[in-house]
Structure 1
């Protein structure tokens, strides 16, 4: 008789038992998961079957696993809740790596579940079998191989808690034969995060440092987007300018005189000299510290929601952790009678005026200048619009020229992967279907994820994709040229994006002049189908590249 000593025999299901796959779904549901992104593979058949038999969590089937992981990352960035993706063993997991790397470096809580070979095949030369934990080591805070049905829920609960509490990637490898086995282990209730309670006197040292400043500055990150009124009040009390970290633009209205735009290569070029004069910087919800744009000698106060983030990415003299909203409320109370430096405020307002009036202009109406495209987008959105940015030259032009408020900016801030824009836009529309969603991408970035135009059609997601089409990897071309190098590989061959999008069920247009662009952006707001605008874009050289 063949040996079955390495097998776990299924047992009759009893009232207090369920399959491992069913338990996984229930555990995810308890944590508020509404969607799982992925691609079908035989090592996760059992999990997919369980998903199909319930209606608490929806499976979003995409064309490529990297898109699934980027969508999970974008959802986590947008909501602050955990994003989930699943994939086949071997190449499925390998394809997830790009999106998981984005989540890991941007500290977005994401859970990845991948199938693994049957238990009795682990350690053999089985197809697609690799050590998944070794592969995931560099881009996860937790990765575990599950080897028994009753361990699955324990490992899953720990993985979710790790991802959420540490803002990281968690990963589980589950042997394909384990999904359908019975477990008596019950799902764990989510661990409630205990709030950090602050007493006003705990802020005496912080306030003392802030009151000593004669040229204060605040640098705020995406995490503070919902705290706009409180931050504006603090800026007024303290007499501080506000700059936004990479990707945090669109948080403040252009008429707020203390707002100076972004800092860094894609930011307001006028703000750097002023920012370098700051003697105290209050960094709120960000670890962004752009080399070459920041003061060398300054006191830095960092406010974060997690102690692990203090001092990461930037030099820090004084750190505070807890509810960022509560911390800012206390600081406002403490500083309400502070007398700010009027001379410094005048410099801030002067810098704001220079920046707010600045508009890039192209040399000709066709092809359209990148700055003109951004200006047209700015005129055709609302404060509730979500903008998904790809990586590349289009992002820099957007960041320098965009000067209005929006609901959220989604981008690959630290991983900086091309192809992020479309998956992020798809995820945003699934997560917040009532909001206008615009993807801004280059022809190079869109070319990497073209197949998932069909995902928008499949799930009826009326997003707008704006393509900066100049037939080049423009950023790479310009930077190589600046360094005296031959720009090899920067000319690209594009399809007819509009024709291709139409074949995928989209409405699509080739756009050659600004008037046509304006009309189509207005039309896109009323459409119930996805729309792609293939914009013939001038090869303008971005004026503020920095050598690295």
Structure 2
């Protein structure tokens, strides 16, 4: 190999480094030995060795959600590639830009009866916006550029399979950065927003539904709410965008949100969606005219009945809408009703958070968390009852929340917390998980140990799949398999090199939580949790 030549794997890593990739999550397998060899010979990109490929894909998805950059995961052919699918499903459903790199059978074996061979392009079809098999060494970087560009521009999952022999094949191709995209060239104009402004001015019962896409727009959201006379509701991703004390802030909507806001929201006549695709069936108005702001306006699949779609950045659109409402007279009776709902929920939320008893009520656990975690912590939520209780009772300030939004997979919390700590080592990172969700990824407790990740995992241990228990009860159906056979999580954590904690009473919650949060290295808090029926279960 001349000084001008590198093999395909080395060139792909050089190109990914130009794209800003700092980590690749994966599991070693023989079809990807060439990539593993190249990773071991350089220090630009860190390989994070996971215990299971689904964890690798979850971590790539969480990193992409947190940073907006490209998350990358890798696996071998066959079962390795197949195990990535759950995490790729999460990235696809929540529109996180993730690239999967998988090994494939050698070029002369593709299509033949080879152990572990599967057509990976067919395998990835449900999730990947682009999937290709690298057929020659000199095509690798062109395909990588298309895959990475598609992932970032479309906020999508993409995939490349690379035959085992091609990873180490020589190539004279030259790595290159992605084309620069000029920001700020928005599709809308002031004139084009006039129709939206006219609809907003006709509102008697306006509401704003804000999500993570409205990050950084708190002041404009508040100005708009005040001028328009609107209540503000938040999706789970939008919690904490506007401080709880703001008079128009009604907190969450949907399962686990403000239980009194749904009835009010259903009466809204005009709704502005700011940076969210969340439209929870059963909690939303049927006849309201909906205005949606989205940078990539392709949200028809989310079944939102949008009247006007504005393609642009929320932070650019909101100030113009505020200006357009100059002279508008808001409906004070509607504002009074919003205030009543806000005050009623504030009182109830405070009461629920002080529920006494042991095993501990979920609301009390969440209250202990919002009293002890740092204001700018990253919270990684698993899917289950822990999600809805957090949405209901956590009084978020400036924390960032990672969760599996539309895919709603169990097992997301621990991998997401690990990725968050790698991305932001200076931040406090807390995973809030159920016992069922944690058991799906128990082996990767050792991944946190391996990389010395200072994270805290809080386990709501009620020895059941409580969300399924509740829903079966509502259906009047019998259940089997909803009770869990749990290990001693403290002993297990300690065996994996973690520090384990367990409060022995409800009164010890805050003190135990603070000890765990201030422990260097990974810490787990196992909290005996009451099997509380969630009040909004349908």
The corresponding residue for 2:374 is: 382
Give me the whole-angstrom Cα distance separating, in 1, the residues matched to 2:301 and 2:491. 49
Q: Which of 187, 196, 216 pairs up with 2:185? A: 196
Greater Cα offset, 505-514 or 77-86 = 505-514
The corresponding residue for 1:325 is: 315
State the Cα distance separating 1:510 from its structure 2 match.
Answer: 1.9
State the Cα distance separating 1:423 from its structure 2 match.
Answer: 0.4
The corresponding residue for 1:353 is: 343
TM value normalised by structure 2: 0.96
Give me the whole-angstrom Cα distance separating, in 2, the residues matched to 1:157 and 1:275. 45
SS at match of 1:112: strand
Give me the whole-angstrom Cα distance separating, in 2, the residues matched to 1:443 and 1:312. 31
Q: Which of 328, 340, 344 pairs up with 2:334? A: 344
Q: Which of 260, 266, 272 pairs up with 2:256? A: 266
Give me the whole-angstrom Cα distance separating, in 2, the residues matched to 1:64 and 1:232. 44
Task: Map Cα deviations across residues 188-233 of structure 1 (whole Å, 9 max, x no partner).
Answer: 3212234333432222111111111111111112222332222222
Task: Map Cα deviations across residues 231-263 of structure 1 (whole Å, 9 max, x no partner).
Answer: 222212221111112443233221011111111
Q: Which of 234, 240, 246 pairs up with 1:256? A: 246
Greater Cα offset, 328-337 or 161-170 = 328-337
Greater Cα offset, 215-224 or 367-376 = 215-224
Does structure 1 conserve the Cα–Cα contact (< 8 Å) formed by 2:378 and 2:420? Answer: yes
TM value normalised by structure 1: 0.95
State the Cα distance separating 1:451 from its structure 2 match.
Answer: 0.8
Give me the whole-angstrom Cα distance separating, in 2, the residues matched to 1:273 and 1:146. 54
The corresponding residue for 2:478 is: 486
SS at match of 1:84: strand
Matches within 5 A, 1:103-182: 103-182=91-170
Matched, 1:335 2:299: no
Give me the whole-angstrom Cα distance separating, in 1, the residues matched to 2:236 and 2:509. 27
The corresponding residue for 1:6 is: none
Give me the whole-angstrom Cα distance separating, in 2, the residues matched to 1:72 and 1:142. 17
SS at match of 2:518: coil
Greater Cα offset, 188-197 or 68-77 = 188-197
The corresponding residue for 2:421 is: 429
The corresponding residue for 1:316 is: 306
Greater Cα offset, 493-502 or 520-529 = 520-529
The corresponding residue for 1:4 is: none
Matched, 1:225 2:222: no
SS at match of 2:84: helix
SS at match of 1:414: coil
The corresponding residue for 1:212 is: 202
The corresponding residue for 1:70 is: 58
The corresponding residue for 1:290 is: 280
Q: Which of 513, 526, 529 pairs up with 1:521? A: 513
The alpha-carbon distance between structure 1 residues 237 and 363, as it changes in their structure 2 partners (threshold 3 A), is closer
Does structure 1 conserve the Cα–Cα contact (< 8 Å) formed by 2:376 and 2:398? Answer: yes
The alpha-carbon distance between structure 1 residues 259 and 147, as it changes in their structure 2 partners (threshold 3 A), is same
The alpha-carbon distance between structure 1 residues 435 and 84, as it changes in their structure 2 partners (threshold 3 A), is same
The alpha-carbon distance between structure 1 residues 312 and 370, as it changes in their structure 2 partners (threshold 3 A), is closer
Q: Which of 504, 528, 531 pairs up with 2:523? A: 531
SS at match of 2:298: helix
Give me the whole-angstrom Cα distance separating, in 2, the residues matched to 1:161 and 1:295. 38
Question: Mind listing any 5+ residue stretches in structure 2 that lack a counterpart?
Answer: none
Greater Cα offset, 307-316 or 494-503 = 307-316
Give me the whole-angstrom Cα distance separating, in 2, the residues matched to 1:27 and 1:279. 50
Give me the whole-angstrom Cα distance separating, in 2, the residues matched to 1:83 and 1:391. 21
Give me the whole-angstrom Cα distance separating, in 2, the residues matched to 1:403 and 1:363. 16
Does structure 2 conserve the Cα–Cα contact (< 8 Å) formed by 1:235 and 1:242? Answer: yes
Greater Cα offset, 337-346 or 158-167 = 337-346
State the Cα distance separating 1:31 from its structure 2 match.
Answer: 1.2
Greater Cα offset, 286-295 or 441-450 = 286-295
Give me the whole-angstrom Cα distance separating, in 1, the residues matched to 2:355 and 2:481. 27
Give me the whole-angstrom Cα distance separating, in 1, the residues matched to 2:355 and 2:233. 30
Task: Map Cα deviations across residues 279-335 of structure 1 (whole Å, 9 max, x no partner).
Answer: 110011222211111111110001001122367431111011122211122222323
Does structure 2 conserve the Cα–Cα contact (< 8 Å) formed by 1:252 and 1:404? Answer: no
SS at match of 1:350: helix
Give me the whole-angstrom Cα distance separating, in 2, the residues matched to 1:410 and 1:22. 32
Matches within 5 A, 1:495-514: 495-514=487-506
Q: Which of 291, 294, 297 pairs up with 1:304? A: 294
Does structure 2 conserve the Cα–Cα contact (< 8 Å) formed by 1:461 and 1:530? Answer: yes
Does structure 2 conserve the Cα–Cα contact (< 8 Å) formed by 1:386 and 1:406? Answer: no
Greater Cα offset, 267-276 or 358-367 = 358-367
Does structure 2 conserve the Cα–Cα contact (< 8 Å) formed by 1:85 and 1:112? Answer: yes
The corresponding residue for 1:458 is: 450
Does structure 1 conserve the Cα–Cα contact (< 8 Å) formed by 2:98 and 2:158? Answer: yes
State the Cα distance separating 1:363 from its structure 2 match.
Answer: 6.4
Give me the whole-angstrom Cα distance separating, in 1, the residues matched to 2:216 and 2:179. 24
Matched, 1:50 2:38: yes
Does structure 2 conserve the Cα–Cα contact (< 8 Å) formed by 1:166 and 1:308? Answer: no
Give me the whole-angstrom Cα distance separating, in 2, the residues matched to 1:176 and 1:231. 52
Does structure 2 conserve the Cα–Cα contact (< 8 Å) formed by 1:476 and 1:490? Answer: yes
Give me the whole-angstrom Cα distance separating, in 2, the residues matched to 1:132 and 1:39. 17
The root-mean-square deviation of aligned C-alpha atoms, in Å, is 1.5
